A and B are shown apart, each in its own frame.
Chain A
Amino acid sequence: MAFDYEKYIRPGKLPHIWCPGCGHGIVMKGMIRAMDTLGLEKNNTAIVSGIGCASRLPGYIDCCTLHTAHGRAAAFATGVKLAKPEMTVILVGGDGDGTAIGGNHFIHACRRNIDMTYIIMNNYIYGMTGGQFSPTTPHMHKASTTPYGNPDPSFDIAKLAIGAGATFVARGTAFHANQIDKLIVEAIQHKGFSVVEILDDCPTTYGRRNKFKSVIEMMNRLKEVAVPVKAAEKMTPEQLAGKVLTGILYKEDKPEYCSEYQKVIERAGGAAR
């Protein structure tokens, strides 16, 4: 029997705003499958987002959803998790929201290692505002505000998260749809701040400016560049040039923030939970 996505969807909120060919819907379905696998209760699951195409996702899901200011999802979610540590808190958003305007909040959420899962849909562009370049737009690629090519070097979101202290970092792609829910399941199960970067596509504002002739071509590119971490171990640096590692890139057990704060409460003479 086909998987029943509808039990997690708010039917009145469809159709969604995403363009034909956009991978955000694939990620949303993966996330729903992950929630189902874990048996997450709708009333005990908070899904928090900022602004952008990807940040529209919580609106479609029938959980406790919070649509906040641009870039502020991580800070907002930190408030939710501190007050309600029993809740599963999932953040969703895009590359611009998460690593430009929200970059500071992002790295500090990683550093605190607070038990939340951040799903970043990286489509290399600000889609909603019409295709301006983002911190992940590849060097010298074109966007509406880089008509001659992007002079900025780009962020590697996974490396950024690891460097900032996130204790679980994984990467998938919108092409590898069946892997998405598996990565999200492990991320949610991990006790600490977990980041799942999904390489995504934006045919409307990124693809057409960068000579991708079709969505299929964009999807094929994701297929071609992705190398599972296990497979990469057997590959030479030359073979790995231009490739992107996928799967669980980093995992570490470290004290989690809410638990650590209980120790502070105890030290202060308060009654820990």
Chain B
Amino acid sequence: MSQRLFVKGNEAVAMAAIEAGCRYYFGYPITPQSDIPEYLSRELPKLNGEFIQAESEVGAINMLLGASATGVRAMTSSSSPGISLKQEGISYMAGSELPGVIVNISRSGPGLGGIDASQADYWQSVKGGGHGGYHIIVLAPASVQEMYDLTMLAFDLADIYRTPVMVLADSVVGQMKEALVPNPRPETTLPEKDWVVRGRKEGTEQKIVKSLFLGDGELEAHNWKLHGKYDVMREKECRQELFMTEDAQLIVTAFGSVARIAKTAILTAREAGMKVGLLRPITLFPFPTQAYRDVTGQCKKILDIELNNGQMVEDVRLSVARDAEVHFYGRPPGAGSLPVPEELFEQIKKYY
């Protein structure tokens, strides 16, 4: 068994990337994710890997695009304003079907906003933040252990589906220190990367990485192909945590950091004899629609809690059984706006 370490969430991301075989990192300084590039600038050269601090986030995502086209595992990380800059490249990666891992240790907005923990990038992340109608897989860790495990998973999912995968967390999860068991890389069967650009050999077919399709019907077919992949993801890759939902009369739903706070409030409610549970989506795209449908077969009250003004709640409303009622409690980001368990317990009492 691996030893237990006491590390930051951001460090766990970097450790998982290395264990996953990622040897190329491209980034640009921004708070609160700088631990990731700092860790990788120290560790990658020891493994013959390379670290580049790009001239901007636009530079970094395009470097990732280039490295990925050669078949290596590569990543970038940033925080909300920087992720906005990367959207152009993410759209090109989605269009060119290039794998890659993008970590967003999100902060508050809009605009410059602040560096406080925020979940206001939900829409941007799950609805396709760039132009052109695509999705990327979005994983939402709620602990340091999950920062590690889901980053590892992100590299596999990226290779399996030839897609960018985002790990979406915030400064609570990124900066928090917790125990971590750095599990070894699982043995996943991955498709052969027969599409990579490696230099043309005599007698072999030319490899082209592109997102431009000008032939009659080509782009339409390409779009249907991409959306076919998204359907497969919806079928196979949904992940969620169910906590005390079996007998629940009210189910709280929340992702990432705020789900941790909600869990404490749920335990308080249980002590008070209230049957309350938690449904925590781990994949935000694909959204675990079926899990919501299932739990609302018997529990008709859902309380959605987010660190924003209400974004995931739209997907929750689309997913629950028709006769279920969905309530929302949100704390838009800002200094001092992280809710405490007592505050969430009050909300549970209100809707129970």
A144 within 8 A of B: yes
Question: Which residues between 61 and 100 of chain B lie within 8 Å of chain A, taking CB atoms?
Answer: 81
A85 within 8 A of B: no
**Contact (A129, B34) CB under 8 Å given A100-B56, A145-B51, A147-B41:** yes
* Distance from B8 Cβ to chain A, minimum over Cβ atoms (Å): 13
Q: Which of B34, B53, B111, B112 has its CB near the most chain A CB atoms (within 10 A)?
A: B53
**Contact (A128, B56) CB under 8 Å given A146-B41, A148-B45:** no
CA of A70 to CA of B113, assembled, Å: 13
User: Nearest chain-A residue to B37 (Cβ)?
Assistant: A145
A25 within 8 A of B: no
A93 within 8 A of B: no
**Contact (A128, B31) CB under 8 Å given A145-B51, A148-B45:** yes
**Contact (A129, B29) CB under 8 Å given A51-B112, A147-B42:** yes
Question: Which residues between 23 and 48 of chain B lie within 8 Å of chain A, taking CB atoms?
Answer: 28-31, 34, 37-38, 41-42, 45
Question: Which residues between 129 and 179 of chain A lie within 8 Å of chain B, taking CB atoms?
Answer: 129-130, 132-133, 135, 144-148
CA of A61 to CA of B73, assembled, Å: 47
Interface string of A62-92 (1 = CB under 8 A from B): 0000010111000000000000000000000
B323 within 8 A of A: no
Instruction: Judge whether B34 and A130 touch: CB under 8 Å.
Output: yes
A103 within 8 A of B: yes
Instruction: Judge whether A103 and B38 touch: CB under 8 Å.
Output: no
Q: Which of A71, A103, A126, A145 has its CB near the most chain B CB atoms (within 10 A)?
A: A145
CA of A96 to CA of B45, assembled, Å: 24
B55 within 8 A of A: yes
CA of A96 to CA of B53, assembled, Å: 11
Interface residue count for B (Cβ, 8 Å)? 18
A101 within 8 A of B: yes
Chain A residues in 8 Å Cβ range of B112: 51, 67, 69
Chain B residues in 8 Å Cβ range of A51: 112
Chain A residues in 8 Å Cβ range of B29: 96, 126, 129-130, 132, 145
* Distance from A137 Cβ to chain B, minimum over Cβ atoms (Å): 10
**Contact (A70, B81) CB under 8 Å given A96-B29, A135-B55:** yes
Instruction: Judge whether A101 and B28 touch: CB under 8 Å.
Output: yes
CA of A146 to CA of B81, assembled, Å: 24
Chain A residues in 8 Å Cβ range of B51: 145
Chain B residues in 8 Å Cβ range of A130: 29, 31, 34, 38
Instruction: Judge whether B34 and A103 touch: CB under 8 Å.
Output: no
* Distance from B48 Cβ to chain A, minimum over Cβ atoms (Å): 14
* Distance from B35 Cβ to chain A, minimum over Cβ atoms (Å): 9
Chain A residues in 8 Å Cβ range of B31: 128-130
Chain B residues in 8 Å Cβ range of A126: 29
Instruction: Judge whether B81 and A132 touch: CB under 8 Å.
Output: no
Interface residues of A (CB under 8 A from B): 51, 67, 69-71, 96, 100-101, 103, 126, 128-130, 132-133, 135, 144-148
14 contacts between A and B (CB under 8 A): A71-B56, A101-B55, A101-B56, A103-B55, A130-B34, A132-B53, A135-B55, A144-B34, A145-B34, A145-B41, A145-B51, A145-B53, A146-B41, A148-B45
Q: A100-B55, A144-B34 are in contact. List 7 more A-B contacts (CB 8 A).
A: A69-B111, A101-B28, A144-B41, A145-B29, A145-B34, A145-B51, A147-B41
5 A-B pairs with the lowest CB-CB distances in the bound complex, closest first: A101-B56, A129-B29, A132-B29, A145-B41, A100-B55
